[in-house]
A = this chain, B = another copy of it.
Amino acid sequence: MAKTSSKSSPGDREDLGRLGAFIRSQRRLAELSQRELAKLTDLSDPYVSQLERGLHEPSVRVLKSLARALDVQAETLLSYVGIGGDTSGSAPGVAEAINADPDLTDAQKAALLEVYRSFLS
């Protein structure tokens, strides 16, 4: 599989170009100038310009700010940077839920996961 279109490991410059194009299109839809968007997001105008041209991979902080200003879901922007595509891994549900549970200690998580894995085999 040469490159399944959704594979895109980040560091992939093409994603940045598409992200930039999307940002630009949303900005124009909202009838904002780069400077106005910059002010809304607390960024500098040249940086907005660079982002739209795909020159940089923005941080999550910037992505979030952009999402709010452009009135789109943060996940939408993240998908351009490559969040959507990971389906590799064991059963996502249970292990994931256990790991994320704030009421469990590490030792308890480990124990629970061990029982769970023993059931799977």
A97 touches B106 (CB 8 A): no
Q: Is the interface of A mostly helix, strand, loop or mixed?
A: helix
Question: What chain B residues lie within 8 Å of A71 (beta carbons)?
Answer: 89-90, 95
| Residue of A9, A25, A64, A120 ringed by the most chain B CB atoms within 10 A | A64
Question: What chain B residues lie within 8 Å of A91 (beta carbons)?
Answer: 97, 100-103
Copies per complex of this chain: 2
Q: A68-B86, A86-B67, A87-B102 known; A73 and B92 CB under 8 Å?
A: yes
Chain A residues with CB under 8 Å of chain B are 9-11, 25-26, 28-29, 57, 59-61, 63-65, 67-68, 71-76, 78, 81-83, 86-106, 108-113, 115-116, 119-120
